[in-house]
Amino acid sequence: MAASEPADLRTYMADNPGAVIEDVARERKVSPRAVIEALPGEMVRIGKGDEFTAAMQDIAEWGEVTLIVHTDDAIFEFTGSIPGGEIGRGYFNLMQPKGLHGHLRHARCGAIAFVERPFMGKSSAFIAFINIDGGIMFKVFVGRDETRALRSDQLQRFRLLADRIAPMKAA
C-alpha cells in the first residue's frame, strides 16, 4: 500500500479515533506522528520535544500511571509511579534502583503529544513522547480508579501540563 494522503488519513482517524496508532502507521506507511497529527484537533495538542525533562519531572509526581513501549515485536506495559530523573552522560536517567529505571535519549525527543480520545469504549488520555524520526519513544497514560474511570487528579495534571507545553491555538 502506498503512503496515505494527509486528507485520507484525517478522514480515517476522524472515523476511527480509537485505532491503535502504531498499527495505522504501519498499515498506511506513515509515521506514528502523522497518525497522531491526523486525529481530530480537539483530541490532540503537540508541544516541543525540548520540554522532555519538565514533562517527565511533572509525571513523576502523578502517582500510579501506565507507561507503554510499543515496538513491532512487543508491547511493554509498566504500571506504577514513574521516578524522577536527571540528565547525565547524554541521557535522562530515571533515578530509582528497582521498578522502572533506565536511561532515555531525551535529546531525540522531537515533540510531546497530549492525546484525549476514546479507546476500546472508554475515555483515555496519554502523553506520547515522539522522537525526531516521527516514532513514538513511549506513552504515559493517565491512570484509572477502581471503577476504571480516568483518575480525575491525574487528568487535571495532564491538562495543566498540556496547557504549559502545548497551549491551545487561538481560533
Q: Per residue of the chain (171 residues), give pLDDT as tens.
A: 456 677 899 999 999 999 999 999 999 999 999 999 999 999 999 999 999 999 999 999 999 999 999 988 999 999 999 999 999 999 999 988 888 889 999 999 999 999 999 998 889 999 999 999 999 999 999 999 999 999 999 999 999 999 999 987 755
User: Strand (E) positions, 71-108?
Assistant: 75-81, 85-88, 91-94, 102-104
Give residue for cell 476514546: 118
pLDDT at 97: 82
Domains of the chain: 45-165 (3.40.1570.10)
Cβ-contact 36, 44 below 8 angstroms: yes
Cβ-contact 32, 134 below 8 angstroms: yes
pLDDT at 163: 97
The DSSP symbol for 169 reads: P
